Amino acid sequence: MFKSYYKLFLFIGILVTLVNCANRGTPSGGEKDTQPPQIVKSVPANYTTNFKGNEIKIYFDEYIKIKNVQKQLIISPPMDPQPDVMPLGSASKYITIKINDTLQANTTYAFNFGQSIVDNNEENPYSYYKYVFSTGDYIDSLSVKGAVIDAEKREPEKFVTVMLYEVNATYTDSTVYKKQPKYVTNTLDSVSTFSIDNIKAGKYRLVALKDGNANYTYQQKTDKIGFYEQEITVPTDSFYELKLFKEIPEFSVERPTQVAKQKIEFGFRGDYNSVRIEMLGTKPEGFEHRLVKHAQRDTLYYWYKPNVEMDTTYFVVKNNTFSDTLKHRFRALKVDSLSIKPTMASAVNFDDDFSIEANVPLERLDESLVTIIDKDSLSIPFKTEFDTLKNRFHFKFNKIEANTYKIKLLPQAITDFFGNVNDTLRYEFKTKKFSELSDVRVTLVDARYPVIVQLTDEKGVVKYEQYADKPRLFDFRHINPANYYLRVVYDANGNQKWDTGSYLKKIQPERISYYADKVEARTGWDTVYTFTLLKTDPDLIEN
């Protein structure tokens, strides 16, 4: 019995010792791997000439993965169809590129992988690896360098495609809509500069696209575009700056849709300000119509009276350069009942008007049935203005600080398009104390007038703006405390708004300059900012 217990205790002791030794000897895993994978070889070798095959293999010293290859991998010239690149979603010690396109003769091809190649464990990137080959006797080695800025935004777009189109007998300005470029690169996600490499000598057109469809062709509806006005000749030592902008699309209109009784909706794209819509066919005596623009959407509403007794009709939609005839089938729907509401919240800025809008076209406002009184019950004189297209009445009067204004519209003060009138309407809003607000003064140096000086939020939404056609101080009085971005629009045509560009007309967008730092509008403070502007705005900067 003693021997049995002795053996049992001895076994337990040895087991505990082994466990302790195992615990003390457990490896910590060592230092974290921070080294990127390394290329062992390529088949065919990188920078091969007289390339004839359709498959490339790139071998590494460890297992790798390919990430975000759709954005990161840039092939120049583009291939159609795209090559197959493996592995995708798994690890391997080599990358396989299977070429599916028919390669052009005497052409240098470049595969720039960006940051897509990473090791399998820690995902350390093998940055900006480029595999190059030529179907001819030599590798093209020339390059075009530059930068892409956003014409309107403070920060440049990420992943902007920059392209060179060879100027030859087949090139026209419409080529960018139809064909892929000769050479292509990308600004990636961290810098706005670009370099198009491995190109041959010649004449080119330089174009940048924020390419929503990733197809290397310009889609006006979805893409932003930037271009250099003149042809460029390679080789060149110049540094080219491209301004990216969103064009106002050519006007077009969608098929009309009945959305309520005597209310027809027309979706559109482009500039709607000069649009005219006419209903064809026999119309009742005294027929009238009104166009109203939706507040947020690209939609026009065609309101008409009296009702028409037709199943189907046609509408002619025109502006200065556009005309189309559209078929419409009437539907039996209910009429919209009149609803009136203010366009703003309970607090109104000193520079803003109190406004009301309605879901049915407004026709008249009888000012004798409207009263505005302040907190002391004093009657405030006012005037009104009517914006027909937006269907809004604006009430204009002088406002003072720390006051409350009550607006009362008696019955029948407002008459809508169909003769309906309002019941009693009451609105109220307040103004803040000047001590709760801020004043900002802006002084411009070396400005070229006319200009629009704007304070925007971080998203570029304009909060306050002032226009000037000659030098003066810009005082933004009684504004809400916040951090703003200061920018100056060079209003070249003096129409008091920023105008975008046109690719086909070779018109660049109007220049916008941003102040380098934030503008701090603090409560109760008066701050002064001096903005020194460039005297020139070169599109081409010589080295």
Give the separation between CA 270 and CA 417, rounded to whole angstroms: 27
Q: How confident is the model at residue 114 (pLDDT cuts 50, 70, 90)?
A: confident
Q: What is the pLDDT of residue 5?
A: 44
DSSP string computed for 104-148 = PTT-EEEEE-TT-EEETTT--B-TT-EEEEESSSS---EEEEEEE
Give the separation between CA 200 and CA 368, rounded to whole angstroms: 77
**Beta-strand pair 239-244/540-541:** antiparallel
Q: What is the pLDDT of residue 70?
A: 82
For residue 182, which amino acid is it?
K
Cβ proximity of 132 and 120 under 8 Å:
no
- Find residue 252's DSSP bridge partners: 269
Q: Output the six-digit token pair for 293.
A: 């623009």
Q: Does an H or E element contain 15, and which? A: helix 2-24
pLDDT tens across 479-518, in order?
999 999 999 999 999 999 999 999 999 999 999 999 999 9
Q: How confident is the model at residue 103 (pLDDT cuts 50, 70, 90)?
A: very high
The answer to whether residue 46 scores a pLDDT higher than 70 is yes
pLDDT tens across 121-130, in order?
888 989 889 9
The answer to whether residue 182 scores a pLDDT higher than 70 is yes
Q: Output the six-digit token pair for 240.
A: 């080219």
Cβ proximity of 209 and 228 under 8 Å:
no
Nearest to 197 by CA among 111, 95, 137: 111
Q: What is the pLDDT of residue 190?
A: 67
The answer to whether residue 536 scores a pLDDT higher than 60 is no
Cα-atom radius of gyration of the chain, to the nearest Å? Answer: 34
The answer to whether residue 260 scores a pLDDT higher than 90 is yes
Instruction: Identify the residue whose tokens are 């027909």.
Output: 388
- The pTM for the full model equals 0.80
pLDDT tens across 358-416, in order?
999 999 999 999 999 999 999 999 999 999 999 999 999 999 999 999 999 999 999 99
Domains and CATH numbers, the chain: 39-134 (2.60.40.1220), 142-244 (2.60.40.1120), 252-329 (2.60.40), 340-432 (2.60.40.3780), 437-541 (2.60.40.10)
Q: How confident is the model at residue 2 (pLDDT cuts 50, 70, 90)?
A: very low
Give the separation between CA 464 and CA 455, rounded to whole angstroms: 5
Q: How confident is the model at residue 24 (pLDDT cuts 50, 70, 90)?
A: very low
pLDDT tens across 3-23, in order?
444 444 444 444 444 444 444
Q: What is the pLDDT of residue 344?
A: 83
Mean pLDDT of the chain: 90
- Find residue 123's DSSP bridge partners: none
